């Protein structure tokens, strides 16, 4: 019987893990090496102790309704996309509301996490920590590692001949970037066109003499602002769209997506992407197309090599007088505090059962929280993981038990990608947000039954099926059921529009009758979809390079 749980890290994953432990009657102790909560979202100017944080201007890529904790909606007056300061304030509100801070030991580093000699029978761990130079040893029944995947910068210098031998300018990883001032008036080359690379290129273009953006893959760009001005993820991440994705041929869905992306601007004209590309990624950036259109950012192919002050590209072109090379090439995860024999059991999150549990351990008392790539909010995914994991730790319910090791290993091998990719290519192997959260929710016994709701609460069922797949849906049934979940779902669009209505304008048109007709027409579609989805299994993994939300 698990009772005492060690939680490593007080970022998003750590906070939800503490809360879920308390919900299950467990006793969590969280070890956080810094002096505050928030993890990567707590901005600091320095990098003391190698801590990674966001840069000064960062804003979330997922809207507040799609990213919030499932039983704690964001304040209605918060904007839909949150600057890091407001997101951190939301974390503080959550921690205060559920009284989580008293379970966190700040300025305490986890030095080692090792299995006890009797682990095969007890499942216990020995955790050694250090606070102000004083070391302590603790024994815990279970451990939840919540350090995320933004840990060690991935800096592939060997792939760029001359960068560390001939090039006389400055080069750095995006982890070291905080604001634009150090780049004023300089010619900057950004390597990597993920979300970070796109953001930094746009930001630097306002002060740099010239910005070049190097990419080696096709990239589709879309805006956080979708049709009629609504947040993109609230419009696109719906169970209805997920049903179509499952029902229609993949080639057709791919064609539909490409056409949707090109409806904003023709990506081939900008040299960004072609509909014939087999490998591609998708990034979020409203300003990048205009920067390319105005010439303040120039798109370039992959770098072949560096000379003393130039970059030579694979198409034979050369850009002279490069002052700074900024690598936006992603991160690799590492768990130096875990004993080597445990670390060797998984080389990435795809070696973990459901991206959480090392399947070879004799006892399932180690969980990795938040080490997952989704086409939606990782915050929501981390909370879902924590709810299931703490239910397993607490025991006592049939759905909160893991299958035998052989079945877990078979599941891991079936879902593991055939080739190993570097961190800058992981975007193409993200998991479908709805598929993954539904999969974990099913394991935890908290997945909503749309077909049953159609018979008992049609209004709610239609909002769940055709509306955004917000986290509140996973608080309607099962362990942790929240009485406010139904109301939160039915009022989510009100909270979306509230911060925008700072000035009242006359709009006499009404869409209420149209909405009623749509609901009536949609009823047979939802019934059919609910029957099919209950009868046939859904794909749990998506190879579509969905939005990094």
Give 402-414 pLDDT, tens digit per residue: 999 999 999 999 8
Q: Which two tokens stand for residue 209?
A: 């003499």
Phi, psi of 305 (to 5 degrees): -165, 170
Q: CATH number of the domain that 276 lies in? A: 3.50.50.60
- Write down the pLDDT at residue 546: 36
Phi, psi of 143 (to 5 degrees): -135, 135
**Are 2 and 389 within 8 A, CB to CB?**
no
User: Mean pLDDT throughout 85-102?
Assistant: 98
12: left (phi over 0), alpha (psi -120 to 50) or beta: alpha
- Write down the pLDDT at residue 534: 55
- 3-class SS of residue 28: strand
User: Mean pLDDT throughout 366-393?
Assistant: 96
CA proximity to 356, closest of 394, 398, 384: 384
Place of tokens 């974390």: 91
- Write down the pLDDT at residue 333: 85
- 3-class SS of residue 409: helix
- 178: DSSP letter: -
- Write down the pLDDT at residue 529: 60
Query: Does one domain contain both 201 and 309?
Result: yes
Query: Does one domain contain both 88 and 26?
Result: yes
Note the Cα 40 to chain centre separation in Å: 12
- Write down the pLDDT at residue 478: 95
Measured CA distances, 42 to 84, 140, 207, 378 (Å): 7, 28, 25, 17
User: Mean pLDDT throughout 301-330?
Assistant: 97
The residue segments making up the domain with residue 275 are 157-223+264-329
| Beta strands 27-31 and 4-8, pairing class | parallel
Specify if 279 maps to a domain: yes
Is the pLDDT at 508 greater than 70? The verdict is no
Q: What is the 3-state secondary structure (H, E, C) of 313-358?
A: ECCCCEECCCCEEEECCCEECCCCCECHHHHCCCCCHHHCECCCEC
Is the pLDDT at 10 greater than 80? The verdict is yes
Measured CA distances, 101 to 39, 95, 97, 145 (Å): 14, 6, 10, 18
Q: Which of 291, 311, 329 is the last residue of a domain?
A: 329
Specify if 165 maps to a domain: yes
Lowest mean pLDDT among 38-42, 202-206, 393-397: 393-397
Total domain count, the chain: 2
The model's confidence at residue 541, banded by pLDDT at 50, 70 and 90, is very low
Is the pLDDT at 547 greater than 50? The verdict is no
The model's confidence at residue 51, banded by pLDDT at 50, 70 and 90, is confident
Query: Does one domain contain both 417 and 365?
Result: yes
The model's confidence at residue 549, banded by pLDDT at 50, 70 and 90, is very low
User: Mean pLDDT throughout 454-480?
Assistant: 97
Measured CA distances, 165 to 159, 160, 285, 412 (Å): 13, 10, 34, 42
Is the pLDDT at 309 greater than 60? The verdict is yes
Question: From the CA atom positions of the chain, what is the Rg in Å?
Answer: 24
Is the pLDDT at 528 greater than 80? The verdict is no
Lowest mean pLDDT among 37-41, 364-368, 413-417: 413-417
Q: Is the sign of the CA dihedral 32, 35, 36, 39 positive or negative?
A: negative
Measured CA distances, 70 to 57, 194, 452, 474 (Å): 27, 28, 21, 7
Query: Does one domain contain both 286 and 413?
Result: no
Is the pLDDT at 419 greater than 70? The verdict is no
What's the rounded Cα separation, in Å, for the pair 380 and 72? 12
User: Mean pLDDT throughout 420-445?
Assistant: 78
Specify if 482 maps to a domain: no
Specify if 472 maps to a domain: no
pLDDT above 90: percentage of residues in the chain? 79
Query: Does one domain contain both 120 and 200?
Result: no
Measured CA distances, 162 to 172, 312, 316 (Å): 14, 10, 16
**Are 128 and 136 within 8 A, CB to CB?**
yes
Specify if 289 maps to a domain: yes
Query: Does one domain contain both 51 and 91?
Result: yes
Query: Rounded to 10 degrees, what is the CA torsion of 440, 446, 451, 452?
Result: 160
The model's confidence at residue 41, banded by pLDDT at 50, 70 and 90, is very high
User: Mind listing the pLDDT tens digit for each residue in 251-293?
Assistant: 999 999 999 999 999 999 999 998 888 778 899 999 999 999 9
Specify if 233 maps to a domain: no
User: Mean pLDDT throughout 398-424?
Assistant: 78
Query: Does one domain contain both 342 and 416?
Result: yes
- 3-class SS of residue 393: helix
Phi, psi of 344 (to 5 degrees): -70, -10
User: Mean pLDDT throughout 57-63?
Assistant: 96
**Are 214 and 224 within 8 A, CB to CB?**
no
Q: In what order do the strands lie in the sheet with 366-368?
A: 104-105, 27-31, 4-8, 142-145, 366-368
Q: Please enumerate in sequence order all residues whose Cβ is within 8 A of that of 55, keeping only pairs 6 or more positions apart, or say none.
A: 43, 174, 177, 178, 179, 200
Give 463 or 400, the one with higher predicted confidence: 463
CB-based burial label for 119 (10 Å; 0-12, 13-18, 19+)? middle
- Write down the pLDDT at residue 545: 35
User: Mind listing the pLDDT tens digit for each residue in 319-366?
Assistant: 999 999 999 999 988 899 999 999 988 876 678 999 999 999 999 999
Exposure string over 421-430, b if 16+ CB within 10 A, otherwise e: eebbbbbbbb
Q: Please enumerate in sequence order all residues whose Cβ is within 8 A of that of 404, keeping only pairs 6 or more positions apart, or say none.
A: none
Q: Which of 415, 435, 455 is the last residue of a domain?
A: 435
For residue 209, how many other CB atoms are within 10 A of its CB?
Answer: 12
**Are 367 and 357 within 8 A, CB to CB?**
yes
Place of tokens 């055939």: 418
Q: Which of 435, 463, 478 is the last residue of a domain?
A: 435
pLDDT above 70: percentage of residues in the chain? 88
CA proximity to 74, closest of 209, 82, 275: 82
What's the rounded Cα separation, in Å, for the pair 447 and 399? 12
* Average per-residue pLDDT for the chain: 90
User: Mean pLDDT throughout 217-238?
Assistant: 94
The model's confidence at residue 52, banded by pLDDT at 50, 70 and 90, is confident
Query: Does one domain contain both 132 and 204?
Result: no
Q: Which two tokens stand for residue 410?
A: 């078979």
Query: Does one domain contain both 170 and 147?
Result: no
Alpha helices in 180-274 (DSSP H): 195-204, 232-236, 239-247, 250-262
Give 181 or 536, the one with higher predicted confidence: 181
User: Mean pLDDT throughout 207-230?
Assistant: 95
Query: Does one domain contain both 91 and 206?
Result: no
Query: Does one domain contain both 73 and 174?
Result: no
CB-based burial label for 25 (10 Å; 0-12, 13-18, 19+)? exposed
- Write down the pLDDT at residue 415: 84
Query: Does one domain contain both 323 and 174?
Result: yes
Specify if 194 maps to a domain: yes
Specify if 441 maps to a domain: no
CA contacts within 13 A on the Cβ side of 100: 29
């Amino acid at each position: 019987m698990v009772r005492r749980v060690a939680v490593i890290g007080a970022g998003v994953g750590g906070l939800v893990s503490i809360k879920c432990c308390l919900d299950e009657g467990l006793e969590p102790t969280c070890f956080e090496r810094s002096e505050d909560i928030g993890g990567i979202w707590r901005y600091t100017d320095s990098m003391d102790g190698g801590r990674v944080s966001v840069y000064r201007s960062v804003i979330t890529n997922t809207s507040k309704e799609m990213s919030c904790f499932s039983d704690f909606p964001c304040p209605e007056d918060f904007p839909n996309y949150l600057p890091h300061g407001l997101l951190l304030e939301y974390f503080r509100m959550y921690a205060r509301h559920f009284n989580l801070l008293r379970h966190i030991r700040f300025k305490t580093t986890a030095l080692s996490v090792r299995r006890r000699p009797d682990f095969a029978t007890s499942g216990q761990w020995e955790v050694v920590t250090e606070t102000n130079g004083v070391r302590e040893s603790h024994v815990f029944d279970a451990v939840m590692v919540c350090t995320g995947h933004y840990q060690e910068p991935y800096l592939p210098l060997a792939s760029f001949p001359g960068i560390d031998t001939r090039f006389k300018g400055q080069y750095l990883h995006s982890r070291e970037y905080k604001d634009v001032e150090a780049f004023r008036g300089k010619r900057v080359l950004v390597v990597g066109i993920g979300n970070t690379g796109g953001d930094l290129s746009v930001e630097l273009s306002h002060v740099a003499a010239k910005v070049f953006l190097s990419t080696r893959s096709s990239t589709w760009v879309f805006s956080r602002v979708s049709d009629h001005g609504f947040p993109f993820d609230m419009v696109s991440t719906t169970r209805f769209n997920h049903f179509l994705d499952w029902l229609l041929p993949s080639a057709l869905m791919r064609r539909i997506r490409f056409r949707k992306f090109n409806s904003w601007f023709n990506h081939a004209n900008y040299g960004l992407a072609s509909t014939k590309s087999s490998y591609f990624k998708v990034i979020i950036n409203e300003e990048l197309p205009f920067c390319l259109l105005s010439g303040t950012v120039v798109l370039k192919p992959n770098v072949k090599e560096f000379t003393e002050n130039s970059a030579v590209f694979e198409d034979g072109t050369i850009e002279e007088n490069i002052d700074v090379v900024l690598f936006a090439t992603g991160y690799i995860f590492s768990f130096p505090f875990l004993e080597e024999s445990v670390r060797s059991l998984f080389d990435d999150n795809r070696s973990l059962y459901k991206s959480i549990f090392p399947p070879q351990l004799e006892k399932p008392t180690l969980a990795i929280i938040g080490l997952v790539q989704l086409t939606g909010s990782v915050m929501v995914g981390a909370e879902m993981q924590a709810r299931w994991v703490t239910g397993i730790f607490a025991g006592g319910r049939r759905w909160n038990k893991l299958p035998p090791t052989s079945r877990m290993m078979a599941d891991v091998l079936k879902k593991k990608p055939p080739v190993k990719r570097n961190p800058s290519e992981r975007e193409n192997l993200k998991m479908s947000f709805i598929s993954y959260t539904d999969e974990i929710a099913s394991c935890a016994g908290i997945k909503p039954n749309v077909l049953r709701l159609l018979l008992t609460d049609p209004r709610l069922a239609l909002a769940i099926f055709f509306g955004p797949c917000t986290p509140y849906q996973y608080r309607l049934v099962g362990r942790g059921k929240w009485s406010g979940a139904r109301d939160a779902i039915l009022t989510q669009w009100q909270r979306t529009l509230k911060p925008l209505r700072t000035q009242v304008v006359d709009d006499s048109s009404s869409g209420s009758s149209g909405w009623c007709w749509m609901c009536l027409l949609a009823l047979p579609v939802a019934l059919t979809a609910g029957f099919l989805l209950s009868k046939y299994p859904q794909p749990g993994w998506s190879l579509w390079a969905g939005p990094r939300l």
